[in-house]
Amino acid sequence: MTTVLTWAEMEPLLKDIDVIGAMEAGFSAYSAGQAVIPPVGELCIEDPPGDVHIKYGYLTEGEHYVVKIASGFYDNPKLGLPSSQGLMLLFSKTTGQTKAVLLDEGRLTDIRTGAAGAVAARHLAPSSISQIGIMGTGIQARVQLEYLTGVTDCREAMVWGRSIERAEAYAEEMKGLGINVRVAPDAQALASTSNLIVTTTPSREPLLRAEWIQPGTHITAVGADSPEKQELDGAILAKADVVVADSVAQCLLRGEIHRAIGAGLLEQDQVVELGAVIAGKVEGRRGDDQITVADLTGVAVQDLQIAAAVYAAKG
């Protein structure tokens, strides 16, 4: 029998799921060659502005395969709607039977992305974080900061957004997590005072410049999940001591690594994969004065891990 769950039914199950651990295991398996993940399917919509991603795949040693549809429609907040929407479908890898229909409204994608940011910070951030910088004020800006509280003791943050009103509302909301969030007057002020930065916007032009980044900073870039998006000046990746991809194959086609290589500022052999860093197969950060960048474009193995975990938790 197929399990059908709404977001209201799924949300309570997450408290018993180690989402960060599930993401680490998924990334490790992916980088070890134990996952089959085809290229991302993508629809780009101009009016209203939005994009739809279709991701799917399985682990060779796993029981399931997943198909996920997730969208971002960036004018939705004007309509009182969240920008993220979507669902996940979980199937038996043995018989093809539909095991679960997860009507998550895009929330599982938000959560697995936030948890992936925490994984990147756990393995790449400096040992002492003085301030977390958040670029953006939307759903992912909230989820990233929430999950970072599980991997760092830092409770000082700064946020930058194009709307000062939304940035102020974000700062007020994050007080509920016990975090003191200040609103940055501009992106340079945030970059020059934060040594853990997360970028969460759908920008199509760089928001952070290389000359603003201080030694020892880790940057997790999650907003550029399609070929035309870019949040980081490519010179940041050229300047970085370590550049990490969630999927090298995928980041050659989309995201910050794609743009930096296209600009002639980075070579493919300078990029290592997050799962290999987690597994200790390649070296990540080697000192607190190094600059590290993680380019997270979102890999279907993350969707598989969280969908399977929710299905198992339902019992």
Q: What would the pLDDT profile of 5-48 be if each residue is shown by its tens digit?
A: 999 999 999 999 999 999 999 999 999 999 999 999 999 898 99
Residue 251: band (very low, low, confident or very high) from pLDDT cuts 50, 70, 90: very high
Q: What is the pTM of this model?
A: 0.94
* CB neighbourhood size of 50 (10 A): 18
Report the CATH architecture of 3-108+301-314: 2-Layer Sandwich (3.30)
Catalytic residue ranges: 68
The region that residue 178 occupies, defined by phi over 0 for left and psi between -120 and 50 for alpha, beta otherwise, is left
Q: What would the pLDDT profile of 57-82 be if each residue is shown by its tens digit?
A: 999 999 999 999 999 898 998 898 88
* CB neighbourhood size of 93 (10 A): 18
| Cβ atoms of residues 237 and 283 within 8 Å | no
- Token couple for 188: 């340079």
**Which residues belong to CATH 3.40.50.720 in the chain?**
123-299
Residue 307: its H or E element:
helix 300-314
pLDDT at 83: 86
**Which residues belong to CATH 3.30.1780.10 in the chain?**
3-108+301-314
Q: Is the pLDDT of residue 284 over 90?
A: yes
Residue 159: band (very low, low, confident or very high) from pLDDT cuts 50, 70, 90: very high
CATH topology of domain 123-299: Rossmann fold (3.40.50)
- Dist CA 142 CA 111 (whole Å): 10
Three-class secondary structure assignment of 36-71: ECCCCEEEEECCCCEEEEEEEEEECCCCEEEEEEEE
